[in-house]
């Protein structure tokens, strides 16, 4: 047996890494799970989570995001499996705001990534996609002629109105969105709930984006940050998801508002079928939702070619230049 095969079979009790074709599509996965004060390991192709209450087994192929709170630790084998399974791991600090994520695409195809890069690199097409994003937030309104400044202004008015509406519905006092990125507790209860809800939403958006093979950093509305596209996509659902969840949670005045917000987010994400919606919306925004492009995105398609400025692409794995060698002879 070769050294490579020995290493492959020897990891985690002899379990080889999962094949892409065996993995669950991102839209059909568990949205997210949160753990704290635990030890995460690997058993075959499952993740084990051990805490004071015992050990929980989670099939890695069904998981979209793991949120790790304070006191969590993870083995190298577990992290490797999650990476191979296309899951994102988000470490949430004690203050509950900052996050760090990892993931691998659930596709071998770069079709969506190439479309994203092409659209974002041209001012006209980038503006068109940004308008589509704002159009999703203003159903029934024509935003096709508005500038980015005008769109930002409308969005600001819309978000402030939504905050006031939910404050009135729930009786939760509201002044403004204000929090300390370095101290989760240095904020009002509603702002803590909004921070916790948004962290969940960002984690889910990051996982779907990476799983589809897109770049989290190539944003259309946001720019300059490694998660610009994550913020673009998450903003499409805040009015429907994270803002209502935060206000409803704060209205219940739970002992641990962060934990309760995450539980309510979990339920709402399932009820809204957010994962399939998000995957469909991303493909639509990038103009890649037709059946022909969908065929290219199959995980079993391992297509590698060489770029050509005239033919767009030529075959890889072929020896070129033989004619030139004969001419030299």
pLDDT given at position 33: 82
pLDDT given at position 68: 84
Q: Give which of 153, 286, 149 is closest to 229, Cα–Cα.
A: 286
Give me the domains of the chain, ranges plus CATH numbers: 3-91 (3.100.10.20), 111-291 (1.20.120.920)
Q: Which two tokens stand for residue 261?
A: 């917000």
pLDDT given at position 175: 94
The tens place of each residue's pLDDT in the chain, 329 residues long, gives: 344 343 343 444 445 555 554 555 656 677 778 888 899 999 877 889 999 889 988 887 777 778 888 888 889 888 888 877 777 787 776 544 555 555 555 666 788 999 999 999 999 999 999 999 999 998 888 999 999 999 999 999 999 999 999 999 999 999 999 988 778 888 899 999 999 999 899 988 988 898 888 999 999 999 999 899 999 999 999 999 999 999 999 999 999 999 899 999 989 998 999 988 999 999 999 998 655 455 454 444 566 777 777 787 777 767 677 666 665 55
Q: Give which of 182, 179, 226, 183 is closest to 202, Cα–Cα.
A: 226
What SS3 class is residue 300? Answer: coil
| CA distance linking residue 171 with residue 167, whole number of Å | 5
Is beta strand 33-35 parallel, antiparallel or unpaired with respect to 72-74?
Answer: unpaired
Binding residues: 155, 222, 235
Binding residues for Mn(2+): 155, 222, 235
Q: Which two tokens stand for residue 33?
A: 């799970």
Q: Spell out where 24-76 has E strands.
A: 33-35, 38-43, 46-51, 54-59, 65-68, 72-74
Buried b (16+ CB within 10 A) or exposed e, 138-163: eeeeebeebeeeebeebbeeebeebb
Is beta strand 38-43 parallel, antiparallel or unpaired with respect to 46-51?
Answer: antiparallel
| CA distance linking residue 190 with residue 205, whole number of Å | 22
- List, in order, residues 6 or more apart from 220 with CB less than 8 Å away: 119, 120, 126, 129, 130, 133, 229, 232, 285
CA distances from 178 to 112, 161, 188, 252 (A): 36, 16, 8, 21
**If you search the block for the tokens 């095969």, which residue do you land on?**
5
């Amino acid at each position: 047996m070769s050294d490579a095969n020995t290493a492959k079979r020897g990891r985690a009790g002899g379990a080889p890494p999962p094949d892409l074709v065996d993995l669950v599509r991102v839209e059909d996965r568990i949205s997210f799970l949160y753990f704290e004060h635990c030890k995460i390991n690997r058993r075959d192709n499952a993740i084990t989570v051990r805490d004071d209450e015992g050990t929980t087994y989670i099939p890695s192929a069904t998981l979209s995001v793991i949120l790790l709170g304070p006191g969590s630790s993870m083995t190298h084998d577990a992290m490797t499996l999650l990476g191979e399974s296309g899951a994102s791991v988000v470490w949430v600090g004690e203050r509950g705001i900052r996050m760090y994520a990892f993931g691998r695409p659930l596709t071998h195809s770069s079709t969506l990534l190439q479309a994203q890069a092409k659209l974002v690199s041209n001012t006209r097409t980038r503006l068109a996609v940004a308008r589509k994003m704002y159009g999703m937030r203003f159903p029934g309104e024509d935003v096709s002629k508005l500038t980015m400044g005008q769109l930002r202004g409308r969005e600001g008015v819309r978000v402030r109105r939504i905050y006031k509406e939910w404050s009135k519905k729930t009786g939760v006092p509201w002044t403004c969105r204000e929090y300390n990125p370095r101290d989760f507790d240095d904020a009002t209860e509603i702002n803590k709930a909004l921070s916790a809800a948004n962290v969940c939403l960002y984690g889910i958006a990051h996982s779907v984006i990476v799983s589809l093979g897109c770049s989290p950093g190539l944003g259309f509305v946001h720019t300059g940050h490694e998660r610009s596209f994550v913020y673009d996509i998450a903003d499409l659902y805040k009015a429907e998801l994270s803002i209502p969840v935060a206000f409803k949670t704060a209205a219940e005045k739970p002992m641990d508002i962060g934990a309760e917000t995450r539980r309510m987010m979990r339920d709402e994400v399932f009820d809204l079928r957010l994962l399939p919606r998000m995957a469909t919306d991303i493909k639509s925004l990038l103009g890649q939702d037709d059946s022909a492009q969908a065929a290219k995105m199959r995980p079993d398609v391992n297509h590698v070619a060489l770029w050509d400025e005239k033919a767009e692409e030529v075959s890889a794995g072929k020896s070129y230049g033989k004619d030139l060698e004969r001419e030299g002879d």
